[in-house]
Amino acid sequence: MLTLTDQAQQAVRGLTQDPQAPEGAGMRIAAGEQGLELSLVEAPVAGDDVIDSDGARVFVEQQTAPMLSEQTLDAQVREGQVSFFLAQPTA
């Protein structure tokens, strides 16, 4: 299952707990035309894997979940912009 670093947890919570975000919102990861797409959504789609990591809710598309099962989601914030990236977990 996809894991989240502390930085990714903070970034996801920051996005989903924004006053303009819908209640119960989460970040959804799904396959897109140019790779993985991340989007802020109100709720998971039927079949999504739901990850709740210390209040950071991430929904992973069913077809995408196997390729992310050994990955770690990390984040970096620079000048108010959040960048997410995947990394192999350290052994």
Q: Is 60 exceeded by the pLDDT of residue 27?
A: yes
The CATH class of 3-87 is mainly beta
Q: Is 70 exceeded by the pLDDT of residue 88?
A: no
Beta-strand relationship, 49-53 and 3-4 = unpaired
Please compute the mean of the pLDDT values over residues 6-32 and round it to a whole number: 92
Please compute the mean of the pLDDT values over residues 18-34 and round it to a whole number: 91
The residues spanned by each domain of the chain are: 3-87
59-80 residue pLDDT tens: 999 999 999 988 999 999 899 8
Q: Is 90 exceeded by the pLDDT of residue 85?
A: yes
Please, which residues have CB within 8 angstroms of residue 31's CB and are 6 or more apart in sequence?
A: 37, 61, 63, 64
d(CA 91, CA 78): 28
